[in-house]
Every structure is written in structure tokens, then in C-alpha cells.
Amino acid sequence: MNKFRKKCAEISEHPLFMNIIIGLIIINAILVGLETYSYFENNFYDWIYIVDQFLLWVFTLEILIRLIGSKSIGSFFKDPWNIFDFVIVGSSHLLVGAHYVTVLRILRVLRVLRAVSVIPSLRRMVNALLLTIPSMGTIMLLLGIFFYIYAVIGTMMFRSIAPEYFGTLHDSLLSLFQVITLESWASGVMRPILAEDPTSWLYFVTFIIIGSFVIINLFVGVVVGSVEEASREEKPTPTDIKLEEVQNELQEIKRLLEKKAD
């Protein structure tokens, strides 16, 4: 059994094995895309279904190999990405038996996300983005307060001029979301209001300067910082290596001084 586990571990860590799984994930994504066209669905549904079932059982076998090859079941499920793979593939099996067609198709699309868990570089990127969540919460709170203040002001000022954009609070919030994306905000939202109220430009310009150029850039800064930190952990720079060596030497000196003091 121990030899079998080692063999499974060797297979699961072999580059060829990972490349085959990545290729099958790509094939699965192509099949799901083709099925959205009525021509392929009507003429090749049986073939698509057979290939899909084959891919599902291959992915199941892949997870079993990785599970057997791990040190223990507990260590396998300590990795969130393994849990993600297990849930996606396991749910697909359950829904095949239940014949929930719409949900099954959605889960088949979600199998494409397994490329993230299989490709190490993508996995590192997602992990870096997850590290930004605590900082993102503070920025989201700031953005929410900012949006709410401007939405209330916009509703009070422009309700009678442009009720389709600022008639209610939720309409104002949706309009401000369009404005902050910088998509047709001038011709679509501001210009009609500016024709009625010449001072309204001040409202929109200040909103864009504060929202789009300041707060949104805070998001970008937090994400870039987390990605750089994750990259340093994966491939430390010479400076980081020297700092780590200095810290280790200082710890060693501290231990020696404590021994002499005793």
C-alpha cells in the first residue's frame, strides 16, 4: 500500500500528468462553449455528452490519484484548492444522476476554474488577491460612504431634471456606477443634465476625481502590493535573502548571549 501511495504521489507531481489535466480542462471549456451554439447542440449532442462524461471520470480519477498520493486524507483537505476540486467534480456526479440540466451545465462551466487550481502561477495570483480582502474591506467601506453621499446629493439636485437617472436613491447609485466606469458618462448622463443646470459639471467632475482617480487607484495599489509580496515570497530578491541572513545571524547572537548570561 505504501508503494502504491508513493507511485500515486509520483504520478500526481509529474509535469506530464499536470499538462494532460490542463489540456483536458481546455477541451472541457471548448465543449461547453460549443454547446451554446444550437447547431452543435442539435447535431452533436450525443458526442458532446459522451466526451463530457469521459472527462468527468478522468477528473475523478485525477483527484483520487492526488488523494491517495497525499500523506493523509487530512493533509489533502487542508489545501483549499483540493476542497474546491473535490466539490466541483463531486457535485457534477451528483447532478448527473439527478438530471438538473441547467445547474449541471453551470457546474460544467465551473470546471474551467480548475485551471486556476492546477496551474501554480494562477494559483499564486489568486492567493495574492485573497490576501487583499482585509484591506479591500476598508476601501469598500470608504467607497460605499462616498457613493451614498453623492447619490443622496444627486437625487436632491437632479430628481426633477433627469428622473431616469436620479429619480430615486437606487437609480442615483446605478447612474453613479456608470459614471465611475467612465463609460458614456459625459454624453449619456452629464450633458443632458448640464443643459438644464449649468453648475452640474461641478458635481460630476468632483465625483470622478475623488472616486475614479483616488479611491479606485487605492484598489489597484492594494492589489499590486499583494501581488509583489506574493512574488517576493515565491522568488525572494538578493536583498530579501541578505536581510533574512542578517536576521538569522542576529537570532544566533541573541541565543549565544542568553546562554552566557545563564
Q: What is the mean pLDDT of residues 97-117?
A: 64
Contact 161, 187 (CB under 8 A): no
Which residue from 182, 158, 84 is spatially nearest to 127, judged by alpha carbons? Answer: 84
The DSSP code sequence of 97-163 is: HHT-HHHHHHHHHHGGGHHHHHSHHHHHHHHHHHHTHHHHHHHHHHHHHHHHHHHHHHHHHHTTT-H
Which residue from 163, 256, 244, 157 is spatially nearest to 207, judged by alpha carbons? Answer: 157
More confident residue, 162 or 36: 162
Confidence of residue 102 (pLDDT cuts 50, 70, 90): low
Q: What percent of the chain has pLDDT over 70?
A: 82
Q: pLDDT tens across 220-239, in order?
A: 777 777 777 766 665 555 55
pLDDT of residue 69: 81
Sequence letter at residue 256: L
pLDDT of residue 107: 66
More confident residue, 170 or 41: 170
Confidence of residue 149 (pLDDT cuts 50, 70, 90): very high
Q: pLDDT tens across 46-66, in order?
A: 888 888 888 888 888 888 888
Question: d(Cα 177, Cα 189) in Å, to the nearest integer?
Answer: 11
Confidence of residue 2 (pLDDT cuts 50, 70, 90): confident
Which residue from 38, 88, 41 is spatially nearest to 63, judged by alpha carbons? Answer: 88
Question: d(Cα 59, Cα 115) in Å, to the nearest integer?
Answer: 12
pLDDT of residue 162: 85
pLDDT of residue 155: 92
Q: What domains are there in the chain, each with its CATH number?
A: 2-118 (1.20.120.350), 133-252 (1.10.287.70)
More confident residue, 109 or 94: 109
Q: pLDDT tens across 25-38, in order?
A: 888 888 888 877 88
Question: d(Cα 93, Cα 125) in Å, to the nearest integer?
Answer: 29
How many C-alpha atoms does 196 have within 13 Å on its Cβ side?
A: 11
pTM: 0.57
Residue located via cell numbers 463530457: 52
Contact 59, 52 (CB under 8 A): no
Instruction: List all residues 6 or more positions away from 117 whose beta carbon is below 8 Å from its beta carbon.
Output: 81, 82, 84, 85, 123
Confidence of residue 148 (pLDDT cuts 50, 70, 90): very high
Residue located via cell numbers 456606477: 177
> 165 to each of 13, 149, 150, 184, 199, how far by Cα in Å?
56, 16, 13, 13, 17
Q: What is the mean pLDDT of the chain?
A: 78
